[in-house]
Structures are given as structure tokens and as C-alpha cells.
Amino acid sequence: MARWRSSAVALAALGAAAGVAGCNPQPEYRRNGYASRADCLRDYPANQCESTRSGGVSYFYGPWYGNQRTATTNDPGPGATAVNGRSQSADPAGSVARRGGFGGTGRSSGFHGG
């Protein structure tokens, strides 16, 4: 009689490590980028917002921190603008990736999958 189950269930790289193993290593440190000083100041004090100018456009960085998002204590600022994605700032000259546009609703509501 035919079985209903798989004859074998092999994993390429166990559990949660799988996708990471298939991805190039992530940079050890990162920092949040902003299109305006006001956006940066929503996350960090003024002395931690560094301005840079490129191609006639100014944009701003917060301080460096470890890249593990779960280790939020490594993020020296609240990260409100970046994490909650409420900033309406433009993509600054296409030269620095802005992050945090997605995920705010799930993180604030606590409901996501099902």
C-alpha cells in the first residue's frame, strides 16, 4: 500500500542556519542612513548624526553598530525612523540605501504570520 509520507526528509543546512549559509556574509557593522538631518535626529542625538555630501546632495549617518538586529542593545539609537519605516524621506541620490521601510506594522502589532 502506498505511503502518505515522505520516504526521506533531508536538510541541506540544518534549520535556521540554512538561508544564512546560502547568503554571502553580512557586514559585521552597519549604520543607519537618512536623507535629512531631521530624520537622523529622530533616532540619535545631534552629536551622533554625521553629514556627508555627494553629488551636490547631503545625507546623514547615525553611528556604527553591530549588524545583529536581534541584539538591539548594540544599536545606540532608538532606531525609530529606520526600524518603523515612518520616514517619508527620499532615497538620497540613490547612493546610500535607506532601510527600515518594511516591518513596522508587524513589529508594533506583534501579529504577522498565521
7 or 47: CB nearest other proteins: 7
CB neighbour list of residue 107: distance below 8 Å, 6 or more residues apart: 83, 84
Site residues, other proteins (CB under 8 A): 1, 3-6, 9-24, 26-27, 30, 67, 69-70, 82-83, 85-88, 90-91, 94-107, 109-114
Cell matching residue 21: 549559509
Q: Please say which residue, 14 or 46, places its beta carbon nearer to other proteins.
A: 14
Least distance in Å: CB of 66 to other proteins? 13
Contacts of 54 (CB under 8 A, 6+ apart): 93, 95
**What is the smallest separation between the CB atom of 58 and other proteins, expressed in angstroms?**
17
Q: Count the alpha carbons within 13 Å of 40 in the hemisphere toward its beta carbon.
A: 22
Min CB(75)–other proteins separation in Å: 11
